[in-house]
């Protein structure tokens, strides 16, 4: 199982949101590139970056910072937030990003994203599907930086990409993101039961290395963690030990 550190960018700084609420953010560093360099010293190969400004506005204003992080970290960077057009995808690839993470567009215009998968390859496009559970427990997708409810279920969206052979899906339970309450293991089990072919990335709620182990035991291929690493709840030594025994 892969551990994927995360950096969320807002106004050029490394921040974390609480349950996806832009009004409840914690600033961790005014130098995100330094955070990227720190993560590159861990026993990991990937780095997840979210351009929160892009997610809100659809305009990537953190391009220079992401380019710097990709160049300095040496990690395989996947970048999401406000990617709406093919030129955005090309621009990020040219900047050294390995994978583009597409959220709102995958829900609103799945045919366009399917074409990108065909053009750039299944390994280079990640579907970012952020869910809020309704009263019946159905995972419904939130879009545009978690500010809008789409009315589309997680299952409907994934089904739209089965024919093209989508591989990488990043799923976040918004209610758990940044809340340090533990990941929604039942949700990820359900996803893998329905779609065992996916290279699923679990996101939201990871508190410590115990949560990482629990996800691994359920067969989840990858887990994203931001706040637990930034707060020191998961140590560098724990990451190394986990990777050696994975």
Active site residues: 8, 130
> How large is the angle between the packed helices 63-73 and 32-40, nearest 10 degrees?
20
**In terms of DSSP bridges, do strands 99-102 and 139-143 run parallel, antiparallel, or are they unpaired?**
unpaired
Q: From CA 147, how far away is CA 96, in angstroms rounded?
A: 29
171 — phi, psi (to 5°)?
Answer: -120, 125
SS (H, E, C) 85-131: CHHHHHHHHHCCCCEEEECHHHHHCHHHHHHHHHHHCHHHEEEEEEE
What SS3 class is residue 209?
helix
Neighbours of 237 (CB within 10 A): 11
CB-based contacts of 131: which residues, under 8 Å, 6+ apart?
A: 139, 140, 141, 142, 154, 171, 172, 173, 174, 187
Using CA atoms, how far apart are residues 35 and 40, in angstroms rounded to an integer? 9
């Amino acid at each position: 199982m892969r551990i994927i550190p995360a950096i969320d960018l807002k106004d050029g700084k490394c921040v974390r949101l609480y349950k996806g609420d832009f009004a409840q953010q914690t600033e961790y560093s005014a130098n995100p590139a330094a955070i990227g360099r720190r993560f590159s010293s861990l026993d990991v190969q990937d780095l997840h970056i979210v351009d929160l400004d892009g997610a809100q506005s659809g305009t990537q204003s953190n391009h220079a910072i992401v380019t710097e992080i990709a160049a300095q970290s040496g990690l395989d960077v996947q970048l999401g937030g406000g990617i709406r057009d093919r030129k955005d995808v090309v621009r990020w690839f040219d900047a050294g990003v390995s994978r583009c993470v597409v959220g709102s567009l995958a829900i609103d215009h799945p045919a366009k994203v399917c074409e990108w998968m065909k053009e750039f390859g299944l390994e280079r496009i990640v579907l970012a599907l952020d869910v809020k559970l309704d009263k019946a427990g159905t995972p419904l997708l939130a879009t545009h930086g978690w500010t809008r409810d789409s009315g589309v279920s997680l299952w409907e969206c994934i089904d739209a990409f089965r024919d093209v052979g989508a591989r990488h899906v990043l799923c976040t339970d918004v209610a758990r993101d940044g809340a340090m309450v533990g990941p929604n293991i039942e949700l990820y089990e359900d996803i893998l039961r329905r779609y065992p072919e996916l290279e699923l990335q679990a996101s939201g709620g990871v508190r410590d290395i115990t949560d990482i182990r629990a996800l691994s035991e359920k067969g989840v291929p990858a887990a994203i963690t931001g706040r637990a690493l930034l707060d020191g709840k998961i140590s560098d030594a724990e990451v190394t030990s986990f990777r050696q025994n994975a």
